[in-house]
Chain A
Amino acid sequence: MKEVRTIVLSKSVFEENDKEADALRLYLKDKGVFLVNVMSSPGAGKTTTLISVIKELSKFYRVGIMEADIDSDVDAVKVAKETGCKSIQLHTGGMCHLDAGMTTQGLTELGLDDVDIVFLENVGNLVCPAEYDTGAHLDMMILSVPEGDDKPLKYPLIFQKCELVLINKIDTLPYFNFSLDKVKQNISYRNEKSFVIPISAKLGDGIDEVVDYFKTKIQNIKTK
């Protein structure tokens, strides 16, 4: 009988992906393209928010968007129609998240020569997308009022990772037991540096502030 030997790997499952993500981030920086990974639970208003933001942002910059879904192309069609920006749909083939490899493939298909900023609309899910670094320069998430102000306590990782958190559907605040102060406090427990902007994607509240935020980020990556 052959002798059994042990090979020690001792590495995180995500290590390979993290390396690919770092490489992608550097490559995009060289190209002067700012990549934003947008995460939220299903129905928090990712697509509506992006449409409002892109409509304003595309007055100043060339915007691209990649829509990731397990199946269907409803989001890509909708965003392209409403904003006129360059968009593609990525199918994850049953997977609940995007990784750096899939993101790289998507960007190659989208083309990087005529865009300044690309939004990656990740699969609607608060668990898996947070574990896989996509290579984005900014991880952001959208939490909506009906979901509750306790979500940062229940889904630690995603709030830990996101630098920007939009609180959407603030026009519904009178109908829910949701405190903006409490949610900000809960978010800061997970990430002291995260920036919170309350918005209503439907009515347009707070969208200007979000657009200004991205303008600063794009300028930074282009001048560095």
Chain B
Amino acid sequence: MHELGIVMNVIEQVDNVAAESKVEKVTKVIMEIGEVSTVIPDLFTDAFNWAKKKTNYLKDAELELIILEGMTYCRDCKGTYRTVEFAKKCPHCGSMNTYLVTGDEIKIKSIEVV
């Protein structure tokens, strides 16, 4: 359900761009999804393949997901580490004074059209 809401959003935006750019159809949608963005790639792809049938330009579009690694920075020891493995607590010094640098992206990178 969560993925579907985002898919509908993507599809509407891409369909609008396709209409404005006067293309025949969209053949591929390339997206960047962060590892800790809460989007599950398989569910997202399923939702995309279901929803694209109802569009004007995306009926034959393929979806490519580029997964971006989640990295967290520690303000105390200035180190970085993999978010998926260690979450909020820095594995180098044990501090909780950390913040996510990359990994929460849900971006439409580009589309391929004919």
Report A's interface with B, CB cutoff 8 A.
Answer: 2-14, 16-17, 94-97, 127-128, 131, 153, 156-157, 189
Contact = CB atoms under 8 A, between A and B. Distances in A.
A6 B4 CA distance: 25
B17 interface: yes
A156 B70 CA distance: 14
A90 to B, nearest CB: 15
A201 to B, nearest CB: 28
A56 to B, nearest CB: 35
B107 interface: yes
Contacts, number: 75
B65 interface: no
Interface of B: 1-2, 4-6, 9-10, 13-14, 17, 21, 24, 27, 38, 87-88, 96-97, 100, 104-114
B111 A13 contact: no
A6 B27 CA distance: 10
A6 B110 CA distance: 7
Given A95-B5, A96-B1, A128-B5, A4 B109 contact: no
A16 B10 CA distance: 10
A127 B38 contact: yes
Contacts of A128: 1-2, 5
Q: Majority SS of interface residues in chain B?
A: mixed
Contacts of A153: 87-88
Contact of A8 (B14, B105, B106, B109): B109
Contacts of B104: 157
B52 to A, nearest CB: 15
Nearest to B25: A2
B43 to A, nearest CB: 13
B107 A13 contact: yes
A206 B72 CA distance: 36
A7 B96 contact: no
Given A16-B13, A153-B88, A7 B110 contact: yes
Nearest to A7: B111
Contacts of B96: 189
A88 to B, nearest CB: 22
A69 to B, nearest CB: 14
Contact of A9 (B4, B87, B97, B109): B109
A13 B87 contact: no
A5 B13 CA distance: 18
A94 B3 CA distance: 12
Contacts of B21: 7
